[in-house]
Amino acid sequence: MRSKRGIMLLERLTTLEQSLHGDQRRDPAWLEYLLHPQFCEVTRSGVLVNRDETIDALTQETGTAFIVSDGFSLLSVNAGSAILRYRTCTAEGHRPAWRASHWVKVDEARWQLIFHQGTPAV
């Protein structure tokens, strides 16, 4: 059975992750706050991008489709590190992907995303 602390962390990281699925993903101040200085991502198409490239790409997006996400689960690595796993697709059910995000606790009240990977789902 999950601990109350584990459930609270899952809810918190899910909320932070989902903030990147809507309009807030285009806010450079939010991205600077949320993405760890060493952040990198392996995109759904297999391209490795760094933090600056990610911020540039997201802030320039226009007309992005709404991202549906579900099936969130959490793997706690230690007290200051956790991996959030989940599935995404477009509102129409297209482009399904499995996602994994590595979150690190940078101070008592703040978590930052240090790594993300998207893999096409079959």
Going from the N-terminus, what domains does the chain have, and what CATH number goes with each? 4-120 (3.10.450.50)
Task: Report the C-alpha gap between 100 and 115 in whole angstroms.
Answer: 8
Strand extents, DSSP E, the chain = 35-42, 48-50, 67-78, 81-90, 97-107, 110-120
pLDDT exceeds 50 at position 1: no
Q: Please state, as a whole number, how many other Cβ atoms lie within 10 Å of the Cβ of residue 101.
A: 21
How many angstroms separate the Cα of 73 from the Cα of each of 13, 18, 37? 10, 13, 25
pLDDT tens-digit series, residues 9-23: 999 999 999 999 988
Predicted TM-score (pTM) of the model is 0.93
pLDDT tens-digit series, residues 39-55: 999 999 999 999 999 99
**Closest by CA position to 109, among listed 70, 67, 80:** 80
3-state helix, strand, coil in the chain (%, to 5): 30, 45, 25
Task: Report the C-alpha gap between 116 and 50 in whole angstroms.
Answer: 10
pLDDT tens-digit series, residues 54-101: 999 999 988 766 899 999 999 988 989 999 999 999 989 999 999 999
